[in-house]
Amino acid sequence: MPFTNDKYQTYMLDLNMVFLKKRTVFINGFLNSDNANSVITQLLYLKKEVESGDVRIYINCIGAEMRSGLAVYDVIRWISRFCTVTTINMGLCSGVGALLCGAGSRDYRYAMPNSRFLMQRTGLEGVLTGQTSDITLEVQNIKKWNDKLEEELASITKHTKEEISNDMKRDFYLTANQAVRYGLIDQVLPPSFAKRRAFGGEFGKFEGEPEKFKIGTRPRNDFRKREKKDHHPSDFVPWYVLEKQKFAREAGIDYDGGYDIPEEYEYETE
């Protein structure tokens, strides 16, 4: 597809390359060694270009090989020391995939409202052949890596390893809201403010969502229209941009965040 750079030069790029230039990485399907190597290569490239901004990882992972998944996990945790890593569960994060979604930077781990998490142990990655002693060693090694998986999940969720181990005795499913309460992620991405108001606020309460997103609540300081009070600039300007504009105005700094507030709006303090 066509891609235009900052110098207004247009050229054709593969779709994955377009997203990579936007510092976005996808983890889809089953994560094997080939997929893991591709993801690790992209993350290492983005780490090298850390001054360009943060990294976003969209995950829809039905499972992973233990060794490959933990390799990606280690790289995500490493680059999060240099930049913010945002993880988003788009559909299902299963097994090591759930761990990868929880590996993002604190307060930047998200899930779509209808996404799910499946916390489970990883079994054999293929048919084992050879001597009985070799097979026994491989089984013991798999158990050791599953214990490592539980330790990492305990570190992320702030649960004890015994609690994690007890939950993962069988397949342990979590909805997006339950994952927030469990400590695996930080927030469920809600619909836009305008869309929720259009439905009269009947979307329901999303667990983990900030106060600024809840129906019927607004910051104490916000923009109000002189004539039409039932309309709010959050319908076309993100709330976090409004907050930045508010602080910039108080500090005497010229900042619009790329959004223009119409003249019919005024700034009021309750």
| pLDDT single digits (tens) 184-200 | 999 998 765 555 555 45
**pTM for the predicted model, two decimal places:** 0.66
Question: What is the overall mean pLDDT for the chain?
Answer: 77
Confidence of residue 246 (pLDDT cuts 50, 70, 90): confident
Residue 137: alpha-carbon gap to chain centroid? 36
Contact 266/226 with Cβ under 8 angstroms?
A: yes
Identify the residue whose tokens are 């680059």: 79
Pairwise CA distance, residues 116 & 177, whole Å: 9
Which of 98-107, 136-145, 210-219, 244-253 bottoms out in mean pLDDT, i.e. has the lowest?
A: 210-219
Q: Using CA atoms in the order 29, 30, 32, 38, what is the torsion angle rounded to 10 degrees?
A: 10
For residue 172, the cross-strand partners are: 119
Q: First-to-last CA distance in the chain?
A: 49
Average pLDDT over residues 43-51: 84
Q: Using CA atoms in the order 32, 143, 145, 157, what is the torsion angle rounded to 10 degrees?
A: 110
* Helix spans in 168-254 (H): 176-182, 193-198, 239-251
Pairwise CA distance, residues 157 & 235, whole Å: 34
Contact 3/13 with Cβ under 8 angstroms?
A: yes
Identify the residue whose tokens are 């048919």: 127
